[in-house]
Amino acid sequence: MRKGVIIPAAGRGRRMGGRKKQFLCLGGKTVLEHTLTVFLNHLEIAELVVVLPAEDLGEAYELLTPFLKQWGFVGSTFASFVTSDGKRQLQLVPGGRERQDSVFHGLEALKDRVELVVVHDAARPFVTRELLDRVVRTAAEKGAATAAVPVADTVVTVEDNNRAGEFLPRSSLRAVQTPQAFHFSLLWKAHLKARREGYYGTDDAGLVVRAGHPVYLVEGDPGNFKITTPIDLKKGEALLEGKKKVLVGMGYDVHRLVEGRKLVLGGVEIPYSHGLLGHSDADVLLHALCDALLGAVGAGDIGRYFPDTDPSLRGISSLVLLERTVALVQEKGFRVQNADVTVVAQAPRVGPYVEEMRTNIARVLGVETDRVNIKATTTEKLGFAGRGEGIAAYAVVTVTEV
């Protein structure tokens, strides 16, 4: 069955204080873009119609042009986009006074183009592919389906003077969501009947039932709530925050101890008979840390960015390298959360310098000192570190998506 979707996005957001919800920003993207993404990623949905306030069509066209490129859509005529292979189309259509009018305009735009139509509110950006597939599958089989969830609150009718009327049995009640899906002809006829009779309902499933066809309830998703009032926007932000990626990186480095060099660890010069050999200041601790950061964001290793053949890096403080690495992490869209480092050295004793190192590193990472942990260990005189031939360092970091 050829499938299409109508996304009603022509509301005025009265309960949001007159702010059009579809264009509000949620985690760096508009609510409309979040919603559209789920349908654009569903390649079986060949026809997309976004119904918008007439006065916003031009601006929406501008907003969506770069966004839709990711799925291979290019503008064809004013208010319509097609993919380069010509297989998918997205139209922008002006809405009507009520949501029902807006959906009807969408149906007109899809007439004779699809056999199955999904209707999904722009204001429900947390719809998932799984829920969409459940609704589509049931509608394909039975003609009409909608997502619905059990009601958490007791529901009561309101009589005069705010007197409670009938308390309805919760087990037989459901709250209706979108997506809803229908054989196109079924929804088309239900809308025509409602228009003829001047009837206005709150959703499409209701119109189909009113036209005498059964609509089947599919288990909805409490996360698929409709952004209606300002508190819903806060809820949405919190939900997105929880979905942000957390990445971990590890780093390891070793430098040889030689006479006639300064010993620098964690950006602190430590008085000692030997120092670490290297092209830069050879701060093995910070090198391990840089590698951990690069590892976390999948950016290779320190040698790729700061090769020891680069004359401008000769003798450079590794705090500068750390600064540049942190900038790279930020460019990739991440923020450092914490770092844990172990220095492996038989001598000198590192303990007395740990606080100063933590302060140096925390400043460059842009975190509280508590988020930087530095430990030192000997190897009981075993191995190269135990014999005092070199110092090793291990680092682990976490970064989170901004």
Residue 16 or 362 with smaller CB distance to Mg ion: 16
Per CB under 5 A, which of residues 3..22 are in contact with Mg ion?
11
Write down the least CB distance from residue 223 to Mg ion, Å: 21
Using the 8-state DSSP alphabet, how is residue 356 labeled? H
Site string for ligand CTP, 232-271 (x = CB under 6 A): ----------------------------------------
Q: How far apart are CA 23 and CA 21, in angstroms?
A: 5
Instruction: Count CB-CB contacts under 10 A for residue 224.
Output: 20
Contact status: 19 vs ligand CTP (CB under 6 A): no
Q: Which part of the chain contacts ligand CTP (CB under 6 A), choosing from 9-17, 55-63, 72-80, 236-244?
A: 9-17
Could you say which of 10, 132, 257, 270 contacts ligand CTP (CB under 6 A)?
A: 10
- Partner that binds at residue 13, options ligand CTP, Mg ion, none, CB closer than 5 to 8 Å by kind: ligand CTP
Q: Min. distance of Cβ 327 from ligand CTP in angstroms? A: 40
| Using rule CB under 6 A, residue 21 touches ligand CTP | yes
**How is 51-115 classified by DSSP, letter by letter?**
EE-GGGHHHHHHHHHHHHHTTTEEEEETTEEEETTS--EEEEEE--SSHHHHHHHHHHHHTTT-S
Residue 228 touching ligand CTP (CB under 6 A): yes
The H or E element containing residue 240 is helix 230-243
Q: Which residues of 371-390 are buried (b: 16+ CB within 10 A; e: fewer)?
A: bbebebeeeeeeebbeebeb
* Token representation of residue 62: 């501008």
Return the beta strands (E) in 85-230 as ranges: 89-94, 116-119, 144-150, 155-158, 164-168, 174-183, 216-219
Binding mask of the shown chain, residues 285 to 324, with x at each position contacting ligand CTP by CB under 6 A: ----------------------------------------
**Residues 6+ away with beta carbon under 8 Å from 311:** none
Burial of residue 181, with CB atoms counted within 10 A of its CB: 0-12 exposed, 13-18 middle, 19 or more buried: buried
Nearest CB to ligand CTP, comparing residues 239 and 299: 239
Tell which one of 24, 122, 285, 395 touches ligand CTP (CB under 6 A).
122
With 0-12 CB in 10 A as exposed, 13-18 as middle and 19+ as buried, what is 17? exposed
Name the residue with the smallest CB distance to ligand CTP. Answer: 11
* Residue 37 identity (one-letter amino acid): T
Closest contact distance (angstroms) between CB of 6 and Mg ion is 16
206 binds ligand CTP (CB under 6 A): no
Binding status of residue 281 toward ligand CTP by CB under 6 A: no
Cα gap 356→369, rounded to integer Å? 10
Of 29, 189, 210, 226, the one binding ligand CTP by CB under 6 A: 226
* Residue, CB closest to Mg ion: 11
Residue (12 or 375) nearer to ligand CTP, CB: 12
The residues that touch Mg ion, with contacts defined as CB under 5 A, are 11
The residues that touch ligand CTP, with contacts defined as CB under 6 A, are 8-16, 21-22, 51, 95-99, 102, 121-123, 226, 228
